[in-house]
């Protein structure tokens, strides 16, 4: 059923007024947890709102019966309840796509130009998510006001980056574009263990044994790949191979790894999140600041969600000065393509490192690079594993231990250096997993 937009708007207005009134006083006329409901947490508000919605729907059906109009059936009432709840606590009709586990990306190029990417590789165009562009802007602004940090989205601050309650990441641009543009990247927190990636066709069983051994052997690992390739998911799965007795500090510009969701695996962890400056231009905390702060917190390992600027220097120093087993992600089209990307980041720092120095720092810090890519059918696969063995002036010396075949799946290519193989075997790795005959992939 397609709900009448006017009914949803009218119901949301009615429910909103009743919820506000109910939060000011309870049924006995006494002040509730706070005189304005400030003592109510999000679950309290949501539960109370659900009960108000049900009463409002009953009143709507009574009104319809009184006018000789057919009342809402159970399916329509349920859809209306969800739509009103999404209007008040979520992102309206956008919330339906956010709640759909098969959707990976949402693009809104104006209220009536909505596109979805699906896990099976499809792209579809959907119905409008707001009546007007102004209504779309106001919906996003309301969500920004409800977020954990102070966010402003207006002509003076036309770009908004926001983490949604679901953990997904929203980017919004307006006033510098013809129409407001919304992009939402979904994160599948249900995929959390490395072994799950075998059935999904992202890695082979042989790669599972190798990657888990690399984590146990405290290799410093960079996960490389393009946008939407699955870097964060792979990083999350690698992190969850870390023993529970280690202290972890994660540093992100937006909390996408979701380590708090796996507290039973990592009881001693700290999540740090970068922060933009406020409307007065103060209060900014950069990734570079947080990496330096994180190193003072006694971590066994430091995980940087993504290297894309000046944080590359303290991260490499952390990897080379005792925080073995640290990890990060980086945008690159291959494992070899990671090197010029890191060199460029280091050249843009205040120190303006030259290529030779940058290569030396990378070679001293990073043990291996794992590249993941998205195939045309939507599947994500590890394409390459590269061991870094040293630097020689303008070059970084490395071995592509696994390289991509015609289907983009990683296949055994060159052997590890003896020292690296010895580290792996010390944590129980069986070198027979490196044989081509052992590299059998799921058919997905």
Based on the domain organization, do 207 and 248 belong to the same domain? yes
Task: Check residue 22 and give its pLDDT.
Answer: 74
Cβ count within 10 A of residue 27: 7
Q: What is the tens place of the pLDDT at every residue in 306-362?
A: 888 888 988 888 888 778 999 999 999 999 999 999 999 999 988 899 999 999 999
In whole angstroms, give the CA distance from residue 175 to residue 181.
10
Task: Check residue 149 and give its pLDDT.
Answer: 63
- Are 335 and 370 in contact by the 8 Å Cβ rule? The answer is yes
Domain harbouring 251, CATH code: 3.40.50.300
Based on the domain organization, do 373 and 252 belong to the same domain? yes
Q: What is the tens place of the pLDDT at every residue in 408-439?
A: 999 999 999 999 999 999 999 999 999 999 99
In whole angstroms, give the CA distance from residue 271 to residue 257.
9
Between strands 380-392 and 410-412, the pairing is unpaired
Task: Check residue 278 and give its pLDDT.
Answer: 67
Q: pLDDT at residue 364 above 70?
A: yes
Q: Of 14-23, 122-131, 263-272, 305-314, which range is least confident?
A: 14-23
Q: What is the tens place of the pLDDT at every residue in 163-189?
A: 887 778 899 999 999 999 999 988 778
Q: pLDDT at residue 234 above 80?
A: yes
Task: Check residue 39 and give its pLDDT.
Answer: 58
Domain membership flag for residue 60: yes
In the listed set 166, 186, 206, which residue is the last one of a domain according to the structure? 186
Q: What is the tens place of the pLDDT at every residue in 47-67?
A: 888 888 888 888 888 888 988
Higher per-residue confidence, 36 vs 348: 348
Under the banding of pLDDT at 50, 70 and 90, the label for residue 31 is very low
Overall pTM > 0.85: no
Under the banding of pLDDT at 50, 70 and 90, the label for residue 36 is very low
Based on the domain organization, do 296 and 216 belong to the same domain? yes
Domain membership flag for residue 191: no
Contacts 24+ apart (CB under 8 A), 77-82: 79/1, 79/3, 80/3, 80/7, 80/8, 80/11, 81/50, 81/53, 81/54, 81/57
What total of structural domains would you count in the chain? 3
Domain membership flag for residue 444: no
Q: Whole domain around residue 424: which residue ranges?
A: 196-438
In whole angstroms, give the CA distance from residue 249 to residue 108.
34
Task: Check residue 315 and give its pLDDT.
Answer: 85
Domain harbouring 167, CATH code: 3.30.450.90
Based on the domain organization, do 73 and 130 belong to the same domain? no
Higher per-residue confidence, 423 vs 26: 423
Based on the domain organization, do 429 and 388 belong to the same domain? yes
Q: pLDDT at residue 160 above 80?
A: yes
Higher per-residue confidence, 6 vs 369: 369
Domain membership flag for residue 318: yes
Based on the domain organization, do 81 and 127 belong to the same domain? no
Higher per-residue confidence, 219 vs 61: 219
Place of tokens 């001693």: 268
Quote the DSSP letter at residue 444: -
Query: Percentage of the chain surpassing pLDDT 70?
Result: 92
In the listed set 44, 66, 89, which residue is the last one of a domain according to the structure? 89
Q: Of 25-39, 131-145, 345-359, 410-424, which range is least confident?
A: 25-39
Q: What is the tens place of the pLDDT at every residue in 185-207?
A: 887 788 889 999 999 999 999 99
In the listed set 37, 64, 89, which residue is the last one of a domain according to the structure? 89
**Helix (H, G, I), strand (E, B), or coil: what is residue 170?**
strand
Based on the domain organization, do 84 and 100 belong to the same domain? no
Domain membership flag for residue 443: no
Based on the domain organization, do 54 and 108 belong to the same domain? no
Place of tokens 């006017």: 6
What's the average model confidence in pLDDT over 258-285? 84
Q: pLDDT at residue 244 above 70?
A: yes
Tell me how far the alpha carbon of residue 193 is from its chain's centroid: 16
- Are 329 and 224 in contact by the 8 Å Cβ rule? The answer is yes
Q: What is the tens place of the pLDDT at every residue in 72-123?
A: 888 888 888 887 777 777 787 888 898 888 898 999 999 999 999 988 778 9
Q: Of 2-6, 234-238, 380-384, which range is least confident?
A: 2-6
- Are 220 and 367 in contact by the 8 Å Cβ rule? The answer is yes
Domain membership flag for residue 396: yes
What's the average model confidence in pLDDT over 222-228? 92
Q: pLDDT at residue 25 above 60?
A: no
Q: What is the tens place of the pLDDT at every residue in 247-259?
A: 999 998 888 888 8
Domain membership flag for residue 306: yes
Task: Check residue 287 and give its pLDDT.
Answer: 85
Domain membership flag for residue 45: yes
Q: pLDDT at residue 161 above 50?
A: yes
Q: pLDDT at residue 391 above 70?
A: yes
Based on the domain organization, do 289 and 403 belong to the same domain? yes
Q: What is the tens place of the pLDDT at every residue in 261-271?
A: 898 999 999 99
Based on the domain organization, do 260 and 362 belong to the same domain? yes
Based on the domain organization, do 262 and 290 belong to the same domain? yes
Based on the domain organization, do 70 and 152 belong to the same domain? no
């Amino acid at each position: 059923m397609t709900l009448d937009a006017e009914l949803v708007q009218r119901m949301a207005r009615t429910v909103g007024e009743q919820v506000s009134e109910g939060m000011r006083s309870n049924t006995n006329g006494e002040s509730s947890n706070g005189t304005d409901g400030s003592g109510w947490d999000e679950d309290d508000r949501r539960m109370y709102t659900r009960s108000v919605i049900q009463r409002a729907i009953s009143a709507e059906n009574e009104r319809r019966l009184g006018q000789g109009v057919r009342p809402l059936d159970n399916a329509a009432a349920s859809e209306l309840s969800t739509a009103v709840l999404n209007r008040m606590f979520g992102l309206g009709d956008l919330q339906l796509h956010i709640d759909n586990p098969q959707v990976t990306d949402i693009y809104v190029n104006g209220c009536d130009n909505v596109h979805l990417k699906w896990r099976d590789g499809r792209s579809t165009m959907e119905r409008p998510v707001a009546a007007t562009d102004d209504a779309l802007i106001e919906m996003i602004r309301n969500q920004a006001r409800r977020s954990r940090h102070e966010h402003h989205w207006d002509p003076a601050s036309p770009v908004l980056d926001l983490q949604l309650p679901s953990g997904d990441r929203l980017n919004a641009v307006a006033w510098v574009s013809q129409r407001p543009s919304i992009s939402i990247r979904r994160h599948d927190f249900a995929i959390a263990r490395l072994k799950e990636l075998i059935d999904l066709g992202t890695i082979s069983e042989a790669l599972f044994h190798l990657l888990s051994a690399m984590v146990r052997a405290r290799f410093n690992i960079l996960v490389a790949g393009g946008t939407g390739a699955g870097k964060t998911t792979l990083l999350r799965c690698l992190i969850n191979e870390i023993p529970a007795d280690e202290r972890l500090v994660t540093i992100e510009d937006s909390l996408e790894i979701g380590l708090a969701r796996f507290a039973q695996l990592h009881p001693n962890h700290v999540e740090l999140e970068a922060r933009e400056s406020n409307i007065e231009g103060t209060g900014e905390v950069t990734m570079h600041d947080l990496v330096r702060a994180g190193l003072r917190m006694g971590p066994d390992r430091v995980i940087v969600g993504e290297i894309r600027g000046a944080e590359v220097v303290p991260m490499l120093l952390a990897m080379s000065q005792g925080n073995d087993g640290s990890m990060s992600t980086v945008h690159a089209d291959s494992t070899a393509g990671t090197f010029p990307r890191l060199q460029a980041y280091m050249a843009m720092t205040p120190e303006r490192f030259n290529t030779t120095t940058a290569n030396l720092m990378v070679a001293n810090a990073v043990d291996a690079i794992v590249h993941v890519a998205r195939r045309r059918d939507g599947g994500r696969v590890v394409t390459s594993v590269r061991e870094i063995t040293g630097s020689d002036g303008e070059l970084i010396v490395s071995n592509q231990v696994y390289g991509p075949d015609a289907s983009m799946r990683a296949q055994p290519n060159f052997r590890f250096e003896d020292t690296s193989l010895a580290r792996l075997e010390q944590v129980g790795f069986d070198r027979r997993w490196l044989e081509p005959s052992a590299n059998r992939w799921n058919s997905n």
